[in-house]
Chains A and B, each alone.
Chain A
Amino acid sequence: MSLKGTAAAIGIGELKPFKEPGDLTALAMMGTVAAEAIADAGLEKRDIDGFLVGVPFSDPGMIYPGVAAEVMGINPRMLNQVDIGGASAAGMIWRAAAAIHAGMCSAVLCLMADVNKVGDQRVPTVSVQREFELPYGNIGANCGYAMIAHRHMHEYGTTARQMAKVAVDQRRSALKNPLATFNERPLTIDEVLNSRMIVDPLHLYEIVSPVSGGAAVVVASAEIAKRAKHPPVWILGAGEYSNHSTITYAPSLTTSPIVPAAEAAFAMAGLKPTDMDFVCPYDCYTITVIVTLEDAGFCKKGQGGPFVMEHDLGYDGDFPCNTHGGQLSFGQAGLAGGMSHVTEAIRQLMGRGEGRQVKNAALGYVNGNGGIMSEQASLILERRS
């Protein structure tokens, strides 16, 4: 049994992220992007019979999916929260397809939004992390990714310039994305390297910027997809894997659980990395993209640094990567940051990339990455001609 081609993404909604949320709440933003996604799919709210939601940091609580569904007046036949960090968005898409494939429901709203106020400090940790990580100052995600980057440089000779190139190329695409937070001026490698060092070896411009925002995707059965407004984007392959939470206890700092997740996704789709027309890898940091391109099989292990130097990652380059600008230029609205890779892949495959449309985009690879390279969910998406 396989999910291959049994469900499609047919509608998206996404807010332009903002720095100052004012009085907005996560639930209010969820309503906005849900309405946009349902209308974009050509459906009515009553057509939604499945509901997957991410719990916002700004307003967490017990039995969250039921509350959010009640607020919007949705009566789902399947409802749940997905809590695998930045992998939640990609993880939602295949879970929605699986629930549809199992006959539990036919149109699933995948939804996430969050409010970030300047100066917020969020350290939602489990007891063992409070006990063995926080006392030493291993707080948030920065530290873990910095230690991954150092180890990658040590093992493979990856350089600061190579990492910076990821942010620079993605920014060039962001300039064509009206929704991106940083879309006004290009970036140079030297500017990245001259930005403030936050956690060695990562500079400010290599680290995502927290913002407020939200995004939603409607995943539907083949039957409903037939009457969608836009070309359906089919879920051809999916894979998920995790082998640690805190990077200290991972089998490897430099080879991530993306390897089995991507292998499973490509195997289900019956495709290989070279078949992809573009990629949308999670990019909380520059190093994340380099490790993902290696572990998903787009280049040899350890060659991610030279690979990004040899290729143009822009929307019109020879290896389009995160054509929305990536979260590095788009901004990270909590879990909705991860959804930005999914919505961008859907836009590209629907032919709605506007000024940054990848020519003849028919196949795209998306990866969602949770925690410190810990939870991984890979998707292969297709537009059928």
Chain B
Amino acid sequence: MSEYLKPLPKPTPISRPFWEAARRHELMLQRCEACGAFIHYPRPRCPNCFSDRLEWRRASGRGTVYSYTVVRRASSRAFADAPYVLAIVELAEGPRMTTNIVATPEKVRIGTPVEVYFDDVTPDHTLVKFKPA
């Protein structure tokens, strides 16, 4: 197996539950107990009402492609394996997420329904990606 050379997430005390859940192949989102908003990416406080009463909830893993691009030439050598599909997925729970759609570009359109796909890129790192549902 070849070495994985792309940037990897470095979890913080705030975000660790998100990445640990991903390793278990679960999608977890923060939810604000004060205003009810779901939040991504993980924050120290709710960016909506600024409460610090945040809890972790398991998400459905469903969403739609809000927008996307096919990166044919990346501005980093780490992604020399372009093309790849970079997307903003709007999750069923509301928040948007930067991710990759694991599919050929022809299968991806704005509005395409997608479901979560956990990509175990190294033994210690799982990225949260999506596939057409």
Q: Which residues of A contact B (CB under 8 A)?
A: 121, 123, 127-128, 130-140, 142-143, 146-148, 150-151, 154, 196-202, 246-249, 253
Number of interface residues of B (CB under 8 A): 37
A residues near B68, Cβ cutoff 8 Å: 147, 150
Tell me the bound Cα distance from A121 to B28 in angstroms: 33
Q: Does B107 contact A (CB under 8 A)?
A: no
Tell me the bound Cα distance from A133 to B70 in angstroms: 15
A residues near B74, Cβ cutoff 8 Å: 137, 139
CB distance from B78 to the nearest CB of A (A): 8
Known: A200-B105, A248-B88. A137 touches B100 (CB 8 A): yes
Tell me the bound Cα distance from A196 to B73 in angstroms: 10
A-B contacts, 28 listed (Cβ < 8 Å)? A121-B76, A130-B7, A131-B15, A132-B9, A132-B98, A135-B127, A136-B86, A136-B98, A137-B84, A139-B74, A146-B69, A146-B71, A147-B69, A147-B86, A151-B67, A197-B70, A198-B72, A199-B70, A199-B71, A200-B72, A201-B69, A246-B98, A248-B88, A248-B96, A249-B41, A249-B96, A253-B67, A253-B88
The answer to whether B73 and A248 have CB atoms under 8 Å apart is no
Q: Does B75 contact A (CB under 8 A)?
A: yes
Number of A-B contacts (CB under 8 A): 102
Q: Which residues of B contact A (CB under 8 A)?
A: 6-12, 15, 41, 66-77, 79, 82, 84, 86-88, 96-100, 105, 110-111, 127, 129
Tell me the bound Cα distance from A138 to B89 in angstroms: 13
| One of B7, B12, B71, B87 near A135 (C-beta < 8 A) | B7
The answer to whether A139 and B75 have CB atoms under 8 Å apart is yes
A residues near B86, Cβ cutoff 8 Å: 136-138, 143, 147
Minimum-distance CB pairs A-B, first 6: A146-B69, A140-B75, A147-B67, A134-B7, A151-B67, A200-B70
